[in-house]
Structure 1
Amino acid sequence: MNGLTWARRMMVALALSTSSMALAQEAPAGDDSAAEAGEIIVTAQRREQSLLEVPVAVTALGGDQLAQRGISNSAQLGEAVPNLQINSPYGSTQPNFSLRGIGVANEYNSNQASPVGVYLDDVYLAPRTSHGMGLFDLDRIEVLRGPQGTLFGRNTTGGAINFITRKPNLSGTNGYVQLGYANFDTFTAQGAAEATLAEDVAGVRLAVNYAKGDGQIRNVFPGGRDAASVDTLQGRFSLRVKPIDTLDIVLRAYGGRDRGTQAAVHGLGAFRAGLGFFETNENRIGNNNTDAWGFSTNIALELSDRWSLASITSYDGGKQNLQQAADGSPLDLLDINWSSRYRQFSQELRTNYASDTIDFVGGLFYGWDRNITDNTFNLPLPPAGGFFQHYRQVRKSYAIFGQADITLAERLVLTLGARYTRDRSRYDDAFAFLFVGPVGGPLTPIATTVPCPGVAGTCAYNPAARFALADTNKALTGRIALSYTFDSGTLVYASYNRGYRAGAINGGGYTSSSGIGYIEPERVNAYELGIKGRTDDRVFTYAASAFYYDYSNQQLQDTRAGPVSFLVNAPASEVYGVELETTIQPTDALRINAALGWLKSRYKTLTLQGANLSGNDLPFAPELTGQLGLEWDVAEVAGGKITFAPNVVYSSRQFFSPFNNDNAPRTAQLNSELQQGANAKVNGTLSWSDDRITVRLFANNLFDRKTYGYGLDLRGAGFPYNFLVPSAPRTFGASVRFGF
């Protein structure tokens, strides 16, 4: 498609979208006074702005809106954000975020960085295991769609998701306690308490979240545990000190752990006979054990009315021990123990300058993260045995960045931004060996496979053998945008963004060192047109964007017989689409929100296992997604209001593999299984609330739609089945919240 043709199509799409008024919701953020005035304050450009003034495609969701939609975990965010898909082979653990078709594709190893940057209070979270967080005591969530190659941390070719927690407001005492119960014998409890130590000077806030419930997928194996259970505990402590008006310091500490059972697997077909969709027959349902903790310090100093400085320092850690029976049968065909330990440190220094004609943000960033992995793969080898894998990965990232919004004329603003990044990565202390031994039992090494250039089992066992590689990438990314604000307040903009994701190494290489090597960085050139605004009476708020991506070197997994996994680049792809968002409030008692995402993605050049996949869709990129919901204050009863809040979430077909319906030559692949057809799910809440108490009934997936959330080719790797993960069945329950 040439640039002129594309531009014409996008302009037509924008014209149709803004005239049809069929766009998605905007949610109130944390500034109460601004929210009351109808303003939504975000920090998408690292400074406070009204959402309607930001020339970026952003969805903002406040804590109350998340509760009304029944969203309690980051893995559910796709139900509220257009063109956002969230998938994982591990259930809600280690979610894979895909925005506008850009994600980790079919990659499942923990050492890969997410192309969609995930942040907690502006702190970049490197390990993907820590992304599967419970959502509690949040001020808001900001989802920025499109590459963020200027102002945000690392690896944001697809976008950025910033979870912003509530901080002490330095006035009075407040808090809440919420208790809930749902089917699958699920008990939930969360709460927060805030105390002001000195008015306008110092305050603390403590928040806790707990959930425990039985498995949602029934296991028919005699004495077997049910899959997809919940067992989580999280806590967060915040201290805010403002000794003088110009100095604001926020210190946070958090910790949490998950101990639920693994996601269910639909695997070997012979053992699916007679089972319902939400049932499995598995002899070894394992645990998804994860731990995460961290500390951060955010210091903001106002030097003058125009200048300010900010420092964000963090140190985080955690671990995962995912015990995954990956065959969905009572046989020991494929049992994996994914075990990794994480550490990370980051430091960002930022300065802001504002005048009548220019707003500038600039700074320095340093990030370090380490992943030490010990994986065990039990395979149907004679005698019982498999492979053990160990490696250490250390990444360092250095960046200098700046962005200026320059007022060229009244209401006409030019944005210029650039970021220079240097990424260094080292993969070392790596070894793997072939062993004999039962699942969960002692391992007896019989042959070294890493380092070993040949077929597994052909190199004698050498306990001292080690393998190491290193790589360095450099990139200049940035942003150019032109925006204009009409007298009515409507904002229109056109932008170009360049995104980058550092080169990566194959974390799945354990049968031979020949498949372990660094591959090229991802790059994306993104062009976007957008419009956002609202009517004078504030009844109708809208936003629309149209985009085109020239996407190169997507990093994806190529699994071959052996089983051997290779990390490869898809040389060239293109993605384009339209997003529409709106809120309509015709009366004080009725609020309607809607979102629509239309997406076309295809590989322009890709060959895997001898199969030409050029023209295939990118995985986890449905062509059409939509959300429609309302909040209706039905009546005033007993001093409170009854609110009915249903919503429906739609997705067209999505593929889980770059192969789509194609199969590699001379293999037993059946890739047509690796997809989920078009589906719609209905959720809803019914609540009564006054100034202090909220009682809520909820139902998610009300009509018990049977859908898959993830699929992986195992037939091509030599197994007689594919790996499919069913999504959650219908859940329903009630909660009561007391505020003080």
Structure 2
Amino acid sequence: MARTAFSRALVVALAITTSTTALAQETTARPADEGAGDGDIVVTAQRREQSLLDVPLAVTALGGDALAERGITNSAQLGEAVPNLQINSPYGDTQPNFSLRGIGVANEYNSNQASPVGVYLDDVYLAPRTSHGMGLFDLDRIEVLRGPQGTLFGRNTTGGAINFITKKPDLSGGDGYLQVGYANYNTFTAQGAAEVTLAEDVAGLRIAGNYANGDGKIKNIFPGGRDANSVDTLQGRASLRLKPTETLDIVLRAYGGRDRGTQAAVHGLLPFRTGLKFFEINENSIGENRTDAWGFSANVGLELSDQLSLTSITSYDGGGQHLQQASDGSPLDVLNITWRSRYRQFSQELRGNYDGEGFNLVAGLFYGYDSNVTDNTFNLPLPPDGGFFQHYRQERRSKAVFAQADIDLTDQLVLTLGARYTNDKSRYEDAFAYLFVGTLGGPQTPIATTVPCPGVAGTCAYDPNARFAIRDTNNALTGRVALSYTLDSGTLLYASYNRGYRAGAVNGGGYTSSSGIYYIEPERVNAYEVGMKGKAFDRRLTYALSGFYYDYSNQQLQDTRPGPVSFLVNAPSSEVYGIELETTLRAAEGFRIDASLGWLHSKYKELSLQGTDLSGNRLPFAPKLTAQFGFQWDVVPVADGVVTFSPNVAYSSQQYFSPFNDLNAAGTPQDNAELQQGANAKVNMSLSWSNDRFTLRAFADNLFNRKTYGYGLDLRGAGFPYNFLVPATPRTYGISARMNF
């Protein structure tokens, strides 16, 4: 029945596309290199440069200018520009959770879990989710690949992949820019870049930086209390490019950054929400989100011949988080958590590209290592005051061999075959947790070991030498099969099968007992997709359409129970299907329309939590309908420049934050119906004046101040007298000035 409904919907969409040719788009990123075609967009979604319209994948490409037009300055805002992409977090812009086509970390909030949407910086996989909450500055483009990418990108891409691609030196001349801005909430911003050619066509250096500082956007009425959701960000990046010969190209990159804003606002205990405005809280101990990220990488490209090239990408990255989170949204100390982790990762990829007559091959080897050392403190209203302390170390190693070939069966028909074999090993070790007495921020006195301890918290005597360790190994074969056909008009039609895989995981939230700490099964997705993309109306219209069906097994979910006890479990079986449409229409000189639409059906075919059958429920963070519409209108030339008006609206239908949807587990005080956000539309707009050197811009985001929640978590089921809800950002507005040089 589901497949029939999907097929009918797809046929209707194809019919509409054929008749109107105006339904889908790939957002302009940057002009293609020579040979890609006039006005085309070049992407590396298949690990080689191609025109976006030649890639048989659902890809959205956003260039740096397009990001600025939409007012997108942080990765947490990307959902406003990409269909079927949701971004949420219990920590504000810190540690964002990406959900593509309904596949994400769901209600999981622990830092040791890998995102099922792989995040990359210049083709380097970023394992820690804390590092995903990055400011966006001096980017060449962002590529969002929807659907499993288990062949060329690898593990933990069951939902898709997002690749942030920074600008690199051009090796000719010099340029740069400086941009400063001021917005409400006393927010100052500055970013810029400068590039210098050290030796023409041989060596160049580019340095970029980003700064933002502002007051909290959510008012705290508690006397003397800090406002929530403040901004305090500083980031920098340096790229050195060396090209000693025509065949050798080396890019060395180093980056570093830190965030020190206050925690996300929390609506918690009901009595302390009463009488407040939506963007207000009453909290006595607003914490601070302290995060750091840094890294180094070397990308070495060597052309062995006109047909064969090698690429080596080596990286070493690190960082940490120290989040102090008052989780009750009240002047009482009901639940205060200190999340503290530090990360290290190393990766090496060696890839070969062969471009022959009627045959293209990408093949390579990958090795990745990452570690996470966590020390969390949970302060609870226990008699006497106290809580739990938790420590563990997690190490993961991944090895893979992969290959993908494009074979020209005819001049217009291409067969794609790809496979990847992955070996993942994970160790959870040096783990211990204990129950303590002590006040918030004061000394702790351990009174009972809880990890390792198989029973109820407090039943095992404190043992300072007790440790717990487990390990796991996964092997997976993933791959891709696709057929693509190019019509005489240039329109690309494609059909594909992709298999995605996310490695098994251990419960990072197990601190009250070791009985809940074990590895669960890997996630797997069998994805079927058809699509078309092309240009029409004398190349003024760019469109794309895709339809997909997922057979999704073993989604990894957090199940929180009274105690409070957290378990990581698998949802045995789910199905997801939908349609995505994107279009860019250059309707007239100086007038461009961008629009996209995502329709999504998601359902648990088999799931039971806390003795409650949730089969038939929708997946969390999976609204049925998302849409974006905007235009860029060059209104009038003024003083050797042009005034441009750029409004856009982003719509999302209702979405749930919990697999329970509206249901409550029998015998519990749950109120899961509260854990959702209704349909809403947010309007952003900007008015700018610009010429080749200067840009002055005024903007307003969430213009009509829509009151929405971005995240919700069931804490009633864990024994607390409230749910945890995080309000999204209120209206912001400001001005900026940019100078190019």
Residue of structure 1 equivalent to 2:277: 276
CA contact (8 A) 1:685 1:699 kept: yes
SS of the equivalent of 1:344 reads strand
CA contact (8 A) 1:395 1:426 kept: yes
- What's the offset of the Cα at 1:13? 3.1
Q: Distance in 2 between matches of 1:5 and 1:698?
A: 42
Provide the identity percentage.
Answer: 76
Task: Mark the CA change 1:54 to 1:424 in structure 2 (over 3 Å): closer, same or farther.
Answer: same
CA contact (8 A) 2:155 2:500 kept: no
Q: Distance in 1 between matches of 2:77 and 2:561?
A: 32
Residue of structure 1 equivalent to 2:476: 475
Q: Distance in 1 between matches of 2:363 and 2:263?
A: 43
SS of the equivalent of 1:52 reads helix
- What's the offset of the Cα at 1:19? 3.3
Q: Distance in 2 between matches of 1:8 and 1:679?
A: 27
Residue of structure 1 equivalent to 2:672: 671
Q: Distance in 1 between matches of 2:705 and 2:18?
A: 35
Task: Mark the CA change 1:52 to 1:570 in structure 2 (over 3 Å): closer, same or farther.
Answer: same
Residue of structure 1 equivalent to 2:177: 176
Structure 1 position 19 matched with structure 2 position 23: no
CA contact (8 A) 1:488 1:536 kept: no
- What's the offset of the Cα at 1:252? 0.1
Q: Distance in 2 between matches of 1:3 and 1:363?
A: 36
Residue of structure 1 equivalent to 2:518: 517
- What's the offset of the Cα at 1:272? 1.1
Residue of structure 2 equivalent to 1:526: 527
Task: String of CA shifts for 1:107-160, please: whole Å, max 9, x gaps.
Answer: 000000000000000000000000000000000000000000100043100000
Please give the residue correspondences for 1:116-515 in structure 2 after superposition, counting only pairs within 5 Å.
Answer: 116-515=117-516
CA contact (8 A) 1:17 1:580 kept: no
CA contact (8 A) 2:32 2:38 kept: no
Q: Which amino acid aligns with 1:380?
A: P
SS of the equivalent of 1:332 reads coil
Q: Which amino acid aligns with 2:196?
A: A
- What's the offset of the Cα at 1:34? 7.7
CA contact (8 A) 2:400 2:423 kept: yes
Task: Mark the CA change 1:34 to 1:101 in structure 2 (over 3 Å): closer, same or farther.
Answer: farther
Q: Distance in 2 between matches of 1:641 and 1:720?
A: 57
SS of the equivalent of 1:504 reads coil
CA contact (8 A) 1:34 1:40 kept: no
SS of the equivalent of 1:409 reads coil
Q: What value does the CA root-mean-square deviation take over the aligned residues?
A: 1.1
Q: Which amino acid aligns with 2:444?
A: L
Q: Distance in 2 between matches of 1:180 and 1:19?
A: 45
Q: Distance in 2 between matches of 1:396 and 1:201?
A: 37
Residue of structure 1 equivalent to 2:571: 570
Q: Distance in 2 between matches of 1:416 and 1:8?
A: 28
SS of the equivalent of 1:15 reads helix
Task: String of CA shifts for 1:670-702, please: whole Å, max 9, x gaps.
Answer: 000000000000001110001100001011000
Q: Distance in 1 between matches of 2:26 and 2:303?
A: 34
Q: Distance in 2 between matches of 1:490 and 1:233?
A: 44
Structure 1 position 10 matched with structure 2 position 18: no
> Paired residues, what number?
740
CA contact (8 A) 2:100 2:159 kept: yes
- What's the offset of the Cα at 1:10? 2.9
Q: Distance in 1 between matches of 2:2 and 2:563?
A: 42
Task: String of CA shifts for 1:611-637, please: whole Å, max 9, x gaps.
Answer: 100000000000000000000000100
Task: String of CA shifts for 1:51-80, please: whole Å, max 9, x gaps.
Answer: 000000000000000000000000000000
Residue of structure 1 equivalent to 2:689: 688
Q: Distance in 2 between matches of 1:586 and 1:182?
A: 33
Residue of structure 2 equivalent to 1:98: 99
Residue of structure 2 equivalent to 1:40: 41
Q: Distance in 1 between matches of 2:654 and 2:154?
A: 32
- What's the offset of the Cα at 1:6? 4.5
Task: Mark the CA change 1:341 to 1:38 in structure 2 (over 3 Å): closer, same or farther.
Answer: same
Q: Distance in 2 between matches of 1:365 and 1:468?
A: 27
CA contact (8 A) 2:32 2:39 kept: no
Residue of structure 2 equivalent to 1:581: 582
CA contact (8 A) 1:124 1:153 kept: no
- What's the offset of the Cα at 1:455? 0.2
Task: Mark the CA change 1:312 to 1:84 in structure 2 (over 3 Å): closer, same or farther.
Answer: same
Q: Which amino acid aligns with 1:89?
A: P
Task: String of CA shifts for 1:465-506, please: whole Å, max 9, x gaps.
Answer: 000000000000000000000111000000000000000000
Unaligned regions of 5+ residues in structure 2, if any?
A: none
Residue of structure 2 equivalent to 1:639: 640
- What's the offset of the Cα at 1:27? 1.5
Q: Distance in 2 between matches of 1:212 and 1:123?
A: 28
CA contact (8 A) 2:525 2:550 kept: yes
Q: Distance in 2 between matches of 1:32 and 1:337?
A: 49
- What's the offset of the Cα at 1:26? 1.7
Q: Which amino acid aligns with 1:211?
A: A
CA contact (8 A) 1:650 1:680 kept: yes
Q: Distance in 1 between matches of 2:370 and 2:504?
A: 15
Q: Which amino acid aligns with 1:51?
A: L
SS of the equivalent of 1:210 reads strand
SS of the equivalent of 2:16 reads helix
Q: Which amino acid aligns with 1:603?
A: Y
Unaligned regions of 5+ residues in structure 1, if any?
A: none
Q: Which amino acid aligns with 2:673?
A: S
CA contact (8 A) 2:31 2:39 kept: no
Q: Which amino acid aligns with 2:684?
A: N
CA contact (8 A) 1:18 1:544 kept: no
Superposition TM-score, scaled by structure 1 size: 0.99
Q: Distance in 1 between matches of 2:557 and 2:35?
A: 43
Q: Distance in 2 between matches of 1:30 and 1:608?
A: 50
Task: String of CA shifts for 1:366-417, please: whole Å, max 9, x gaps.
Answer: 0000000000000110100000000000000000000000000111000000
Q: Which amino acid aligns with 1:480?
A: V
CA contact (8 A) 2:33 2:42 kept: no
Q: Distance in 2 between matches of 1:301 and 1:258?
A: 37
Task: String of CA shifts for 1:31-54, please: whole Å, max 9, x gaps.
Answer: 476899211000000000000000
CA contact (8 A) 2:657 2:712 kept: yes
- What's the offset of the Cα at 1:584? 0.3
Structure 1 position 597 matched with structure 2 position 598: yes
Residue of structure 2 equivalent to 1:561: 562
Task: Mark the CA change 1:226 to 1:340 in structure 2 (over 3 Å): closer, same or farther.
Answer: same
CA contact (8 A) 1:29 1:35 kept: no
CA contact (8 A) 1:543 1:580 kept: yes
Q: Which amino acid aligns with 1:606?
A: L
Task: Mark the CA change 1:651 to 1:65 in structure 2 (over 3 Å): closer, same or farther.
Answer: same
Q: Distance in 1 between matches of 2:17 and 2:107?
A: 33
Q: Which amino acid aligns with 1:276?
A: K
Q: Distance in 2 between matches of 1:141 and 1:583?
A: 17
Q: Which amino acid aligns with 2:232?
A: D
- What's the offset of the Cα at 1:3? 5.3
